Chains A and B, each alone.
Chain A
Amino acid sequence: MIGAQDLSGFSMFMCGIMLLVPLLGVWYLKLGIARNLFVSTLRMVVQLILIGFFLEYIFKYNNWLINLSWFLVMITSAVFSVIKNSDLKLNHFVLPVLLSFILANFLVVLYFNYFIVNIDFILDAKYMIAIGGMILGNSLRSNVVGLGDFYKALRKDEQLYFYKLSLGATKYEALLPFAKRSFISALNPTIATMATMGIVSLPGMMTGQILGGSVPLVAIKYQIAIMIAILASTFLSISLSLLFTVRYSFHKNGTLKKEIFRISNN
């Protein structure tokens, strides 16, 4: 593979100059986020340098156990991020959500590697970590929305849920309208992105592949496959995390446990 042209020290310096535009602008306009912007940039640089070195080794050894463990670490941090970005309590949700993310993402990534990319070593670092990272990263927002909104709506429209129960609905029957809405709000952004893909934006994966030396026609095939994989993984992880968390989030009489929320309402 030819690979993208390396960026020299001078290139990175010029990159720093470019940072001055937003940094000085933000400072001049007194937006109060200059410090944040600076710290975030610094964090990004440090984290990426570390991960760069780390990935060098991972790709070099390409050991299935290390690959698998690293993918697990990625999934775990995704789970923490999803729960932290919702109003839900970490200790109550971490296990069921972790389990559903592991199932959903492993299933989709292994399917992808085996049936779509058609490689023999399906735990290959390059594919498992790169493809897995794409899928995780892109389904993260959807999962935050899906899981968070489900419980938020349930707390807000508790009357509606009670009304369904009073009609004789089982817990699952009464939760169905809430689950439907949560699926819709989780999947809609990805569906919308797919509709404008290629025209409004050139997706990151395609850019990467083209710079990496792939011909555009190969890059688009990967892009199509990855978008579908993202949809599948989002759908699976939301279904499973709803299914698993619903078991522990209600009292026997069907009422929602209030202690599952981090921030108490009224």
Chain B
Amino acid sequence: MFEFRHITKQFSEKFVLQDFSFKIAEGDKVNIVGRSGIGKTTLFRLLLGFEKPDSGAIYYKNEPITDINVWELRKKVAYVSQDLNIGRGNVQTFFDETLSLKANILQKSNSKAGIKKQFACFELSEDILSKNIEELSGGEKQRIEIINALILNRKIFFLDEITSALDKVLKAKTLDYFLQNPDFTVLYISHDSYLPTGVELKTLKLDEL
């Protein structure tokens, strides 16, 4: 489904990726590991077209990702960033804004029930819907961002440290939610060495260059 072909990416003097190649098939669960600052998040930014490789190309369904078709890809991928600056204002409005985007309008009809289900699943109280994002704790924001990704009903997930502020039980539950679903293609960055049972994980290790 995705393929990195001989990607090189440099920031100022430092190489983040050098002649990097990797294949990801539909349904794969890929754990991206490597010490912090090595460029794990850069992989997601390359995939989403926010950064461009200095050389090489990334393929999605055997087509190279370009400035033009990346807009379509952004409608198929659900990205959960590690950054908790996801906006301000009311939580329900936050979900509404996501669903009001032209690309997501079809998901709007059933969203109320979907959100309710996800809140229960991720152990959030429904009072939070009427709260403001800036009042929430880190763990709550993280789960709001996860639910915001799930209500889009997409099948490809890029998850960047999405459990860093969650407790151990919720961490396992959250990762299982994504990793145990055979329909999902998941790329995730996580500092925890959590191993889900019965799931074949691929590991993408970024090493010192």
A residues near B (Cβ < 8 Å) are 157, 159-160, 162-170, 173, 177, 251-255
Residue-wise, chain B 37-57 has the 8 Å CB interface mask toward A (1 for contact) of 000000001001110100000
29 A–B contacts, CB within 8 A, in A order: A157-B85, A159-B85, A160-B86, A160-B87, A162-B50, A163-B83, A165-B48, A165-B50, A166-B77, A166-B78, A166-B81, A167-B74, A167-B98, A167-B103, A167-B104, A167-B148, A168-B101, A168-B152, A170-B101, A170-B102, A170-B103, A173-B102, A251-B67, A253-B49, A253-B50, A253-B67, A254-B71, A255-B49, A255-B50
Pairwise interchain contact A173-B101, C-beta atoms closer than 8 A: yes
Q: A166 and B79: CB pair below 8 A? A: yes
- Is B75 positioned at the interface, with any CB of A under 8 Å from its CB? yes
A residues in contact with B50, CB < 8 Å: 162, 165, 253-255
Chain A residues, CB < 8 A from B74? 165-168
Q: A168-B104, A173-B101 are in contact. Are A160 and B48 (CB under 8 A)?
A: no
**Provided the pairs A167-B104, A252-B68 are in contact, do residues A162 and B87 lie with their beta carbons within 8 angstroms?**
no
Is residue B70 within 8 Å, beta carbon to beta carbon, of the partner chain?
yes
B131-187: which have CB < 8 Å to A? 148, 152
Contact at B75–A168, with CB atoms within 8 Å? yes
Are the CB atoms of A160 and B67 closer together than 8 Å?
A: no
Among B45, B50, B79, B85, find the residue whose CB has the most chain A CB atoms closer than 10 A: B50
> Which residue, A165, A167, A251, has most C-beta atoms of chain B within 10 A?
A167
Check A162–B48 contact: CB distance below 8 A: yes
User: Which residues on the B side are within 8 Å of A163 (C-beta)?
Assistant: 79, 81, 83, 86
Measured CB to CB, the nearest residue on chain A to B148 is A167
Not counting A167-B103, A168-B75, A253-B67, a sample of 8 additional A-B residue pairs whose C-beta atoms are within 8 angstroms of each other reads A159-B81, A162-B50, A165-B50, A166-B74, A169-B103, A170-B101, A173-B102, A252-B68
List residues of chain B with CB within 8 A of the CB of A253: 49-50, 52, 67, 70-71
Closest to B77 in A: A166
- Cβ of A255: which chain B residues have Cβ within 8 Å of it? 49-50
User: Which 6 residue pairs of A and B lie closest in terms of their CB atoms, listed nearest first?
Assistant: A168-B103, A252-B67, A166-B79, A168-B75, A253-B67, A253-B49
A147 to chain B, nearest CB (A): 22
With a CB–CB cut-off of 8 A, which chain B residues contact A162? 45, 48, 50, 81
With both beta carbons as reference points, the residue of chain A lying nearest to B69 in the complex is identified as A253
A145 to chain B, nearest CB (A): 19
Chain A residues whose C-beta falls within 8 Å of the C-beta of B71 in the assembled complex: 170, 253-254
**Distance A241 CA – B106 CA, assembled complex (angstroms):** 33
Q: Which residues from A are CB-within-8-Å of B67? A: 251-253
- Contact partners of A168 in chain B: CB under 8 A: 74-75, 101-104, 152
Considering the chains assembled together, what is the distance between the CA atoms of A37 and B108 in angstroms?
A: 61
Q: Quick one: which of B45, B68, B85, B152 contacts A160, CB cutoff 8 A?
A: B85
Complex Cα gap A166–B78 (Å) = 7
Q: How far is the CA of A174 from the CA of B92 in the complex (A)?
A: 18
Complex Cα spacing A160 to B81, Å: 10
* Chain B residues closer than 8 Å to A164, beta-carbon distance: 101
Min Cβ gap A179→B in Å is 14
What residues on B are CB-neighbors of A165 within 8 Å? 48, 50, 74
* Cα–Cα, bound, A167→B73 (Å): 10
Give the nearest-CB partner of A160 in chain B.
B85
Measured between C-beta atoms, what is the minimum distance from B46 to chain A in Å?
11
Cα distance, A159 to B152, chains bound together (Å) = 20
Residues of B within 8 A of A166 (CB): 48, 74, 77-79, 81
From residue A183, how far is it (CB to closest CB) to chain B in Å?
A: 16
In the assembled complex, the Cα of A170 lies from the Cα of B152 at a distance in Å of 16
Q: Contact between A177 and B77 (Cβ–Cβ < 8 Å)? A: no
Give, as a whole number of angstroms, the nearest-CB distance from B92 to chain A.
Answer: 16
